[in-house]
Amino acid sequence: MRRRLLVVAFPAALLAGPALAQPKRLELIGYSSQSLSGTAAQRFADKAAALSTGSLQVALEERPATVPFAAIGKASALASYYAPAFAREEPVLSLSAVPMLAATFDEAETLLSIARPYYAAALARRGQVLLAVEPWRPAALWSTFRLRSAGDLRGAAFALDETPYVGDGWSELFSRLGTRRASYADAEVMLSSGYTSSVELAQQFACVTEVFFATQLTFLTASQQVFESLPEAQREDLLAIGRATEAELWRDIRELVPRDHRDIAKRGVVVSAAPPADILAALRTAAEPGVRRWAAAMGAEGATLLADYRRVIGF
């Protein structure tokens, strides 16, 4: 377990007065220097250090936020974690893992903007304040042959990538499309959750089809108790740093996908950035039972959130 200490800077005016004479130390759990995603913690600390001059200190600790969800706000001042991991406690947190809701990054951001009040309310019930949201690379289809139509999926040996970061019902969705379940080693078609390295996948698969299956989210939150104990100016600065971090993360993910395409194309992988329309239609149809299941778990709020989002995107 490694720990890094970064000074979170704030405007000099905030340093006036005896109450702020000594920097306040805030620990942020969930940070991992080796992760392929979940970089929100590091970005938040970097952004904070760049924007301020010393009234807080953020200690990044490589300790996953695996305590009971209700205890995260008590376990650390700040935390970064994969939001759908806590869907059992708060069903709305699984929204970003519900497949085939957003077809572009613009739609993914629209979904986030509509869902944010619901996320904030769920976190408030658990003693947390939402500071920033990190998007993952959208889950994509990798295959040993080029996918030209939905019929190519029927009978194909299918596997999910070997990470815990896959959504509820993803495997069943592909069963509806006629695939047969297989191991990672035997798979002809595999869905990457967005966590597994594309370089690693390029060693086994000849093609990738970008279907924007799901853009999962990492949350960066503050303990509500700690947040409310800070002076108003520091609370405002934490929120501002969170907004700046989030904006940077979304800009980066938009640039990552085309860069990823170029990198894997150099390794000989055939990239389909615009998949056949019937594949997208088949995926959306097969995903709808999962969408309805998520909305039912949310109750009336789920139906409202989903209807508001689909009305905005013209679905």
Same domain, 157 and 295: yes
pLDDT in tens, 108-129: 999 999 999 999 999 999 999 9
d(CA 237, CA 239): 5
Cα first-last separation, the chain = 46
Please check whether residues 122 and 145 belong to one and the same domain: no
Residues 243 and 276 in one domain: no
List 129's β-bridge partners, or say none.
Answer: 222
- pLDDT classification of 257: cutoffs 50, 70, 90: very high
Whether 156 and 246 share a structural domain: no
- State the average pLDDT over residues 220-226: 96
Same domain, residue pair 56 and 148: no
**Residue 300 and residue 171 in one domain:** yes
> Model-level pTM?
0.89
Residue 193 has what pLDDT?
Answer: 81
Same domain for 42 and 151: no
Q: Are residues 100 and 12 in the same domain?
A: yes
Residue 33 has pLDDT above 80, yes or no: no
Q: Which residues of 36-59 are buried (b: 16+ CB within 10 A; e: fewer)?
A: ebbbbbbbbbebbbebbeebbbbb
Do 19 and 105 share a domain, yes or no? yes
Q: What's the CATH code of the domain at 144? A: 3.40.190.10
- Number of domains comprising the chain: 2
The larger pLDDT score, comparing residue 168 to residue 24, is at 168
Question: In 10 A of CB 130, how many CB atoms?
Answer: 21
Residues 67 and 185 placed together within one structural domain of the fold: no
Q: Which residue has the higher pLDDT, 63 or 49?
A: 63
- 172-199 pLDDT tens trace: 999 999 999 999 889 999 998 876 678 8
Domain of residue 240, CATH code: 3.40.190.170
In terms of average pLDDT, the best of 58-62, 67-71, 132-136 is 132-136
Closest CA to 241 of 230, 256, 254, 257: 230
**Domain extent for 306:** 140-214+267-313
Tell whether 99 and 200 lie within a shared domain: no
Are 114 and 241 within one domain? yes
**pLDDT for residue 79 is more than 90:** yes
Instruction: Over range 240-247, report the average pLDDT.
Output: 93
- Mean pLDDT value of segment 65-71: 87
- pLDDT more than 70, % of the chain: 89
Mean pLDDT over each residue of the chain, to the nearest integer: 87
In this prediction, what percent of the chain has a pLDDT beyond 90?
67
- Which pLDDT band holds residue 11 (cuts at 50, 70, 90)? very low
Q: How far is CA 254 from the centre of its chain?
A: 14
